[in-house]
Amino acid sequence: MRRGDRRPRHLEMGVLLLISEILSIGYDVIPPITLCTIIGQTLLYVEAFEVPWSKHDVCISAKKVWYDKNYKTLLLSTFEHADDMHLYYNMISFLLKGRTLEPLYGSANFALLLSILCLMTSSIYVSLGVLLSNVLNDSSLLYSCAIGFSGVIFALKIITTDNSSGSSVIMGIRVPTKYAAWAELIAIHILVPNASFLGHLAGIIAGVLYVKTPLKRIIDGVCTTITGIAALFYCLINYINRKVSFSAILEEESFLIHFLR
C-alpha cells in the first residue's frame, strides 16, 4: 500500500515491464483469476476505462471508515496503485503466489478467498489505526491514507509459507521461510519509506488469522458452500511440503527487495 493520486494515462516503464513478464511467462499458463486480477488492476491504473472515483476518494484511512463511514474504501483502495513501479512489484509478487495457490484452491474458491482477504486486510488496517492512535495519542494514524494490493499479497505470503521448514535471505540476512513475511515487512519499511507499514502489517495479521485460527475452517466452509467445490486448505501445507518448491518464489522476491535499494 502507498499514497498517491491518479497519474496521466499512458504506458509507463513499470507497466511495460509487467506486460513483458506476462508475455515471457505465457499468459496461457497463468491461472484465470490470477491473470484477470493482474489485467484488471493494470487497466485500472492506465485508466483504460472510466470509474466513478479517484485515488484520493478511495484511499483508505481509519478516519474515513471508522468516523466518516466511507465503507467503499475497504475494497476499492485495494485495487488502486500509486505509481507504475508500485503496480509492477505488487503484480509480479501476486503472480508468483497466484500460480501456486489458485490451482490448489480452484479458481472459484481462490476468487472468494481474495475477496475475503481484501476485506479482512482493510478492516484490520482501520482497526490498527484507531487502536494505535488512542494508545499512542497520535491522531496522524487516523489520517494515514493508503492504496494498493500489497496487504493482500502479504496475507497470501503467510498462507504459502506457513509451516515451511526452509530459509530465505532478506537484505543479506538468512531467516526461516515461515518468518520471511515479517522480515520483508521491516525491509520494505526501511527501503521504501512511503510504503504503508500498517497496511502490510494488516495483511500479515489477516494471513495469520486465516492459517492459525478457526477462521480457516469457517472461510473455507463459506467458499465451499458458495461454489460447491471443496476448498481443500487442510491439504495445502502437506501438498506444498511434498510437491511444491518455493525456492524460485523466494529468490524472485528477494531480488525484488534487493532491487528496491
SS3 89: helix
Q: Spell out the alpha helix ranges (H) of the chain.
A: 13-25, 32-45, 55-58, 62, 73-79, 84-105, 107-135, 140-143, 150-161, 180-191, 197-212, 215-227, 236-243, 247-259
| Confidence band, pLDDT 50/70/90 cuts, at residue 55 | confident
12 C-beta neighbours (distance < 10 Å), count: 18
Condensed to tens digits (0 to 9), the pLDDT of residues 107-132 reads 999 999 999 999 999 999 999 999 99
Check residue 252 and give its pLDDT. 46
Residues 146-166 have a mean pLDDT of 90
Cβ atoms of 32 and 106 closer than 8 Å: no
pTM: 0.86
Hey, which residues are catalytic here?
150, 200
- Longest CA–CA span in the chain (Å) reads 51
Residues 121-147 have a mean pLDDT of 95
Calculate Rg over the CA atoms of the chain. Answer: 18
Rounded mean pLDDT of the chain? Answer: 85
Check residue 1 and give its pLDDT. 59
Angle between helices 107-135 and 150-161 (to 10 degrees): 110
